Structure 1
Amino acid sequence: MTTSVSGPTLAQLRDYAAARTLHTEATVQGALGRLGFVQADPIRAPARAQDLILMQRVQTYRAGELERRYADLDIEEDMLPNYGFVTHEVHRLLHPRNVKELKIEQDAPGLGERVLEYVRARGEAHPRQLEAEFGRTRVGNYWGGSSNAATRSLEALHRRGQLRVLRREKGVKVYGPARTGLSGPLSDQERALGIVQLLVRLYAPLPRQSLGYLISLCGYGAPGLQTELRLALKELEDGWLASAKVEGLNYLWPADEPSDRIAPPGIRLVAPFDPLVWDRRRFAHLHGWVYRFEAYTPSAKRTMGYYALPLLHAGKAVGWANLSVSGGELHSDVGLIAGVRRTAAFERALKAELERYGAFLGLA
């Protein structure tokens, strides 16, 4: 049985979510170790999602720092529950993957083995090098278009854990052989238990339905483990998880964490994929309004903007802001929900957050 506790109020749960999530670490590695997974997204508005997530958790973090320091960090690019960055400890939970034959392996039989041999012999490979070696044969992809066959083979080998991303050059992945000499593989049960614990610690407190959805998303990052993941959740409900029904939703969080914490003061502008706002069900329930990510919505139909960053004031989401850089200066377009006033204290807090963004973007 999940450890039942006397239910916190919605405001207390909202404070707890902000307090446990918006932690501050002295180093990038410290933040990565605490998070375990950082979701990635290529849109820069004004910076990539992974940078926006880390700037809220690392003192003096600068845009692009993760990519610049990638080779020196305990980190891998991988998938769980979305594409992003994981520590080596989390990477162990994902491999070996039970991957069925991939489309590129059907379309270009034997090419993967040749590409793997090429990379192992040279130590690394940029997709352009493979084009020169194996030609520019195009094959269909999962999105209805076509891609270079050798590049698709690199991606397939990475998915299987036979290659890893060494670094990026102007955003393009450079691959190398997978790490060797690491600890032996974990059992499927150990992997599933670790994955569910990671999801809870990353996104808690979260509705049980949301945790179920996150587990279903792991079907790509941890294929073949769906049964073990469900069993792991049942095992964790027997003491490791605390639960309470709060205004109609059953929330879960680690039982060893106190839920009576106070949200950090001031204003925070967080990424659309930040763990604090990623779960739209939880966001609407805790904050009382619906946030929309509209980057892929036709401009005429947008209500918040291309890349609206949720605006949190003392842990409560009260609006959003679109940020842009022009002429070496940071510009902001702020929207607030009904009933929120821009008091002098609010303006001071917003000014401080925008100044922090300026330093993060190298404008200060």
Structure 2
Amino acid sequence: MTPHVLTREQARRIIVRAELLDAQRPGDVVEVAEQIMQIKIDPTAVVAPSEQTIPWSRIGWSYEPGQLKKAVEDDRVLFEYYGAFRPASLLPAMRQKMEHAALRSGTQTWLDANERFRRDVLARLGAEGPLFSADIPDTSQVSRASDGWSGSNQVPAMLEVLAYRGEVAIVGRRGRQRCWDLAERVYPAETSPLTLDEATAEIEQRSLQAAGLAQPHYHWSGVGKQTGEPAAVEGSSMKFRVDPAALAALDEPDPGGRVALLNPYDRMLFDRTRLVEVFEFTFVLEQFKPKSQRVFGYFAHPILCGDRFIGMLDAEVDRPRETLRVNAIHELTPWEPDEHELVRAEIGELADWLGVEVSGLD
């Protein structure tokens, strides 16, 4: 099939719409998760944790943090897996992928050496679950080398591996502590299980729907080489796959754009190469850089205006003073007066949502 040739403007519009960042806002957090497939979980809360700012940047003022907890723990329409909240509609396909998940050789060796430990963990959850990791004894035979992030207790590592393989699941959280149970008691019973090929095809299709336009088999996209239709973007040598529905929607009325302040862990930013090739925007997360090497700030939020990245917001919440302190607003190119007004308004909306005042804008 001859690739569709898109202008950069068309490619940007497809991506922005797919990421729910155009003027037509979604209604709730479930709608967000259904479309973008995953809401990243991360404890960094310079402004607010990613699992809260990602829905807010799409829904706006009507989003309340409690909506996410309710959707996950009460309504069970979202579930937590591998560092993100995902829609329950993905479970049939993902459970097939979990069952066939391959582990790294070192992890598989560690798991094989701790078979008795694995059985102990499953038995404890079966008899007493749901439980926090601190409630489960460490009966490991072999310890993993420290990665600098985890301690010597092997229970969290075992739970992570078993969750990745679909044997245990997270039922909820108390703050940042995860509560675990057997997957069979958390995930609904499969009435019509998919084959592995069917599951792979569904996940690849949903991934393309979430991205709109993506590189095939790119690590962050999850899109297959035959998913959707081939596409090229003027001025880029990259090969893309495009969602046919998103392509057809280019002929529909354009709801227009708006300003969005994006958490650095937003999936819109995952594919750095796509950002450069389509948006002509280079994004570098400076969180792990020495202070002297930072250009925009420790956890600066990219500013999307319509279909262009126009700046970076360096801001942080000062809870004792109940303020959102704006350290700097970096303009990537000189702004028009209306862009200044729109960005200031969105920062004000963010502060209102956080329940604090704004400082540093004057």
Instruction: Normalising by structure 2, report the TM-score.
Output: 0.83
Distance in 1, matches of 2:294 and 2:88, equals 39
Matched with 2:229 is: 241
Matched with 1:13 is: 11
Matched with 1:47 is: 48
Distance in 2, matches of 1:309 and 1:90, equals 29
DSSP-derived class of the 1:244 partner: strand
Matched with 1:335 is: 330
Distance in 2, matches of 1:102 and 1:64, equals 38
Counting matched residue pairs gives: 335
Distance in 2, matches of 1:8 and 1:181, equals 43
Relative contact order higher in (CA < 8 Å, ≥ 6 apart): 1
Q: Residues 138 and 174 from structure 1, CA distance in 2 versus in 1: closer, same or farther, beyond 3 angstroms?
A: farther
- The answer to whether residue 247 in structure 2 is matched with residue 253 in structure 1 is no
Matched with 2:360 is: none
- The answer to whether residue 194 in structure 2 is matched with residue 197 in structure 1 is no
Distance in 1, matches of 2:330 and 2:141, equals 48
- What are the superposed Cα offsets for residues 186-228 of structure 1, whole Å, 9 maximum, x if unpaired? 111101101211221112223x3xx32237x86xxxxxxxxxx
Q: Residues 84 and 103 from structure 1, CA distance in 2 versus in 1: closer, same or farther, beyond 3 angstroms?
A: farther
AA partner of residue 240 (structure 2)? Y
- What are the superposed Cα offsets for residues 92-120 of structure 1, whole Å, 9 maximum, x if unpaired? 22222344563542443311111111111
Q: Residues 13 and 163 from structure 1, CA distance in 2 versus in 1: closer, same or farther, beyond 3 angstroms?
A: same
DSSP-derived class of the 2:242 partner: strand
Q: Indicate which of 130, 152, 156 corresponds to 1:124.
A: 130
Q: Does the 8 A contact of 2:14 with 2:212 survive in 1?
A: no
Matched with 1:267 is: 259
- Return the offset for 1:357: 0.9
AA partner of residue 243 (structure 2)? P
| Range with greater deviation from structure 2 (283-292 or 262-271) | 262-271
Matched with 2:26 is: 25
Distance in 2, matches of 1:172 and 1:182, equals 28
Matched with 1:62 is: 64
* Moved >4 Å (runs of 4+): 134-138
Matched with 2:281 is: 289
Distance in 1, matches of 2:67 and 2:46, equals 16
Q: Indicate which of 147, 160, 167 corresponds to 1:143.
A: 147
Q: Does the 8 A contact of 2:212 with 2:242 survive in 1?
A: yes
- Return the offset for 1:57: 2.3
DSSP-derived class of the 2:181 partner: strand
Q: Indicate which of 351, 354, 362 corresponds to 1:361.
A: 354
Which runs of 5 or more residues in structure 2 are unaligned?
358-362
Which runs of 5 or more residues in structure 1 are unaligned?
219-228
- Return the offset for 1:146: 4.3
Distance in 2, matches of 1:296 and 1:68, equals 33
AA partner of residue 206 (structure 2)? L
Matched with 1:224 is: none
Q: Indicate which of 111, 115, 136 corresponds to 2:121.
A: 115
Q: Does the 8 A contact of 1:329 with 1:363 survive in 2?
A: yes
AA partner of residue 341 (structure 2)? R
Q: Does the 8 A contact of 1:138 with 1:146 survive in 2?
A: no
- Within a 5 Å distance, the mapping from 1:162-173 to structure 2 comes to 162-173=167-178
Instruction: Normalising by structure 1, report the TM-score.
Output: 0.82
Q: Residues 362 and 136 from structure 1, CA distance in 2 versus in 1: closer, same or farther, beyond 3 angstroms?
A: farther
Distance in 2, matches of 1:71 and 1:245, equals 42
AA partner of residue 343 (structure 2)? L
AA partner of residue 337 (structure 1)? L
